[in-house]
Amino acid sequence: MRTKGLLRVALMMGSITLGTTSVEAAEMHGPDDAATHEVRVVNNFRSPVRVFAEDAEGHLHDLGRVSRGQFKVLELSAEVADMGVVRLKVYPNEPAGSLTGNSDGIKTKPLAIEGDDSVTVWLETDLTQSMIKVEQG
């Protein structure tokens, strides 16, 4: 009987504590749709890859790394896209000393990305067979 009473007291104290504690929800902010464009990458290549955007002035912007067998959404800033056309470049992320470290990457033709446009990249085992699709938003 005594444990049952202690359990009731513990439950009531927990209820009171939860009822009197003020909890504020933190507001979560995702990327601002007006500030970024999505670059979706499906990596079926044999190793992880690095994805870059080359702006109109020839500067490379690192968008991120995508592991083998992974789907990942990367962000291209509107600031880079608004400079004019961009090229996406994808390179295997392999150690320079490895047998596959000298693999060449792929690059797109110049792309004009505007508004809510997004890009989807499907990387194949043979990178030259990869597909890229620009979806207008």
Closest C-alpha to 34, from 64, 95, 74, 79: 79
> What end-to-end distance do the CA atoms of the chain give, in Å?
67
Q: How confident is the model at residue 128 (pLDDT cuts 50, 70, 90)?
A: confident
pLDDT(1) > 70: no
The rounded mean pLDDT for the chain is 77
pLDDT(14) > 70: no
Q: Give the pLDDT confidence score for residue 23 in this predicted structure.
A: 37
What are 69-126's pLDDT values in tens digits?
Answer: 999 999 999 899 888 899 999 998 876 555 555 567 888 999 988 888 899 999 999 8
The domains of the chain are located at 36-135
Question: What stretches of the chain show up as alpha helix (H) in DSSP?
Answer: 2-20, 78-81
More confident residue, 5 or 43: 43
Would strands 49-54 and 106-107 be described as parallel, antiparallel, or unpaired?
Answer: unpaired
pTM: 0.69
Q: Give the pLDDT confidence score for residue 96 in this predicted structure.
A: 59
CATH 2.60.40 assigned to 36-135: yes
What are 24-62's pLDDT values in tens digits?
Answer: 333 334 444 457 899 999 999 988 999 999 998 999 999
Q: Give the pLDDT confidence score for residue 114 in this predicted structure.
A: 85
Q: Give the pLDDT confidence score for residue 18 in this predicted structure.
A: 45
